Amino acid sequence: MPHWLSLMVDSFWPLLYAGVVFTVPLTLLSFAGGLLLGFAVALARLFGPSPLVKVARFYVWFIRGTPLLVQLFVIFYGLPNIGIVLDAFPAALIGFTLNVGAYTSEVIRAAIASVPRGQWEAAYSIGMSWTQAMRRTILPQATGLAVPPLSNSFISLIKDTSLAAALTVPEIFQAAQRIASVTYEPFILYSETALIYLFFSSVLSSAQTRLEARFGRHSSPLGAAG
Amino acid sequence: MIRLSGIVKRFGDAPALKGVELSVAEGSVTALIGPSGSGKSTLLRCVNLLEVPQQGRVQVGDEAISFDDTPRPSREAIRRLRRQSGMVFQSFQLFPHQNVVQNVAESLVTVLDWTREEAEAHSLDLLKKVGMAHKAREWPANLSGGQQQRVAIARALAASPKVLLCDEPTSALDPELAAEVVDVLRRLAAEGTTMLMATHDLRLAATIAHQVVFLEDGEIRESGSAQHIFTQPKHPRTQAFVSTLRETVLEDWSI
């Protein structure tokens, strides 16, 4: 077995392990949390009272206007100065959740707002309350619109979790750095790492196709008529 | 069945309705006609409170709300009044993520807590009535406009409302498709469905309405039987409006 191949085989399991134990949970948990947060922020911006709208807008403005890496550093390295000490994984989780929440809130807001007003009126006209109309009529349609852009956020997030290496979270990229620092083979190691990210993002995002099929089944190929 | 009194509706400073009085007897059909912006759609939407008037009293069936007194009516009161009526929209507004029978069953399942089986059985009966039972499992996007509107009529009737409100039900349809919708509405009228409709469709108004009401600038100018309004209107504005409607059909056409 050539040297480069045995190096890749030897480092494959540590990298995969880091992916399964840290990258995947970090991605799934922060995306789930970010979606919930994004939904709440979207509702606040669309339907909330004016002070809440302002808070929501400030949050989105702040998160989208600052680098993710800086946000993570503030949470993990900065907060201890004011007495809030977090372990690396929870700190990363909070950082990614806040970040995902800001971006997805815009997607969700746009999706909800793009369901025609007539659909609300139709729902009200058959006696539904606001909550029923939202749950039964508006959200199912908004979901179909939001799936493709949310999938984009999700794939970005998988790759962005590599930034957690800087917070000492032993995820894929951190494992790669560790191995590279003792083997002195960065080209092989980081190329393999790229392939492993490719593998995880392909597996995790394969759900997108199924989701789009699920929410697109009522449309004709050229989009809904009428 | 419907009694509107002193209905005032403003959008910002612009008055849309200036104290409208209107009654619709049980089992009768009333058509609201008038130029665009005359307030007929707004008036119709005040009946199920998609537009909430600033003043006046709305009574539909056994429910009534007065808008003269503060505080404003509760959401629950608005919903109770709303459930007395069903509405058909110009642009159909079927729920695109639900198939035909799910659209019709939606109010029964979600609002009235029927089981899905009961709701769909009842919905199929209604779909038969509008000639759409064979498309029960179809998506709305795969139906013609006329078919979508017939499904929308079944959906509006599903929860057995006291009144059917129709907002320009044929205006988005070509004449042939409009004819199938008029046909369904005519049969419903013959069965004694109480209806209030806003329409530009002379054929629809002339053939099924017992009472025709001409609105202009948020006020009722004239009302009477369809024959009276279309053949011998008294008010000069009604005369002018009716003559423009009639110009759109053959010159020697008589109603």
Task: Give this prediction's pTM.
Answer: 0.88
> What pLDDT is attached to residue B248?
59
Cβ contact A122–B86 (<8 Å): no
Residue B120 has pLDDT above 50, yes or no: yes
pLDDT attached to residue B51: 94
Mean local confidence (pLDDT), B114-128: 96
pLDDT at B110 over 70: yes
Closest CB to B107 among A116, A126, A225? A126
Chain B residues in contact with A121 (beta carbon < 8 A): 50, 87, 89, 93
Distance from CA of B253 to the nearest CA of A (A): 33
Interface test with A, best of B52, B93, B165 (most A CBs within 10 A): B93
Which residue of chain B has the CA closest to A128?
A: B111
Work out the mean pLDDT of chain B and round it to a whole number: 91
- CB atoms A127 and B106 under 8 Å: no
Which of B111, B122, B109, B102 shows the shortest CA–CA distance to B84? B111
Q: Is the pLDDT of residue A150 over 80?
A: yes
- Asked whether the predicted pLDDT for residue B200 surpasses 90, the reply is no
Confidence band of B202 (pLDDT split at 50, 70, 90): confident
**Calpha distance A192→A179 (Å, rounded):** 12
pLDDT average, residue stretch B67-82: 87
Of chain B, the percentage scoring pLDDT greater than 90 comes to 76
Task: Tell me the C-alpha distance between B191 and B185, whole Å.
Answer: 10
Name the pLDDT band for A196 (thresholds 50, 70, 90): very high
Write out the DSSP string of B183-248.
HHHHHHHHTT-EEEEE---HHHHHHH-SEEEEEETTEEEEEEEHHHHHHS--SHHHHHHHHHHHHT
CB distance from B98 to chain A under 8 Å?
A: yes
Average pLDDT of the residues of chain A = 91
Per-residue burial over B15-29, b = 16 or more CB atoms within 10 Å of its CB, e = otherwise: bbbeebebebeeebb
Question: How confident is the model over B194-223, as a mean pLDDT?
Answer: 91
Is the pLDDT reported for residue A223 higher than 50? no
Q: Is B245 exposed, middle or buried, given 0-12, 13-18 or 19+ CB atoms closer than 10 A?
A: middle
Looking at the complex, does the CB of residue A67 fall below 8 Å from at least one CB of chain B? no
Which residue range(s) make up the domain with A35? 3-225
Task: Specify the pLDDT at position A214.
Answer: 78
Question: Which of A124, A130, A136 lies closest to B106 in CB terms?
Answer: A136
Question: What distance in Å separates the CA atoms of residue B173 and residue B166, rounded to the nearest whole number?
Answer: 14
Instruction: Decide if A214 touches B, using CB distance below 8 A.
Output: no
CA gap A126, B161 in Å, rounded: 9
Number of A/B CB contacts below 8 angstroms equals: 85
Q: Which residue has the tokens 């809904």?
A: A224
Tens digit of each residue's pLDDT (9 = 90 or more) over B76-102: 999 999 999 999 999 999 999 999 999
- The answer, yes or no, to whether residue A220 has pLDDT greater than 70, is no
Q: Which residues of A touch B91 (CB under 8 A)?
A: 118, 226
Mean pLDDT of the B5-33 span: 93
The confidence band for A226, taking pLDDT boundaries of 50, 70 and 90, is very low
Q: Which of residues 144-173 of A touch B (CB under 8 A)?
A: 144
Task: List CB contacts (< 8 A) between A130 and chain B.
Answer: 75
Assess contact for B68 and B22: CB atoms under 8 A.
no
CB burial readout B167-194, b (16+ within 10 A) else e = bbbbebbeeebbebbbbbbeebbeeebb
Instruction: Give the CATH number for residue A201.
Output: 1.10.3720.10
Q: Residue A225's pLDDT is what?
A: 39
Q: What gap in Å lies between CA A182 and CA A177, rounded to an integer? A: 9
| B107 interface with A at CB cutoff 8 Å | yes
For chain A, what is the domain count? 1
The mean-pLDDT minimum among A203-212, B102-111, B148-157, B222-231 falls in A203-212
Residue B48 to residue A119, Cβ atoms within 8 A: no
- From A220, which residue of chain B is nearest by alpha-carbon distance? B141
Identify whether B71 is preceded by a cis peptide bond (ω within 30 of 0).
Answer: yes
* Per-residue confidence (pLDDT) for residue A222, from 0 to 100: 42
- Supply B228's token pair: 């009276």
Can you give the C-alpha Rg of chain B in angstroms? 18
Residue B163 pLDDT > 80, yes or no? yes
Q: Where are the domains of chain B?
A: 2-93+163-247
Question: Residue A162 is encoded by which pair of tokens?
Answer: 């590599």
Q: Which residue has the higher pLDDT, A120 or A148?
A: A120
- Chain B interface includes A121 (CB < 8 A): yes
pLDDT band for position A159 (cuts 50, 70, 90) = very high
Using the predicted structure, report yes or no on whether residue B212 has a pLDDT greater than 60.
yes
State yes or no: pLDDT of A180 exceeds 80: yes
Is residue B170 pLDDT above 70, yes or no? yes
Please compute, for residue B150, the number of CA atoms within 13 A of its CA located in the half-sphere on the CB side. 27
Is the CB of A21 inside 8 Å of chain B's CB atoms? no
> Would the pLDDT of A156 be above 80?
yes
ipTM above 0.85, yes or no: yes
Average pLDDT of the segment spanning A119-137: 96
Classify domain B2-93+163-247 by CATH number: 3.40.50.300
What is the predicted pLDDT for the residue at A13?
92
Query: Which residues from chain B sit within 8 angstroms of residue A141, using beta carbons?
Result: 95-97
Out of A130-139, B179-188, B245-254, pick the least confident. B245-254
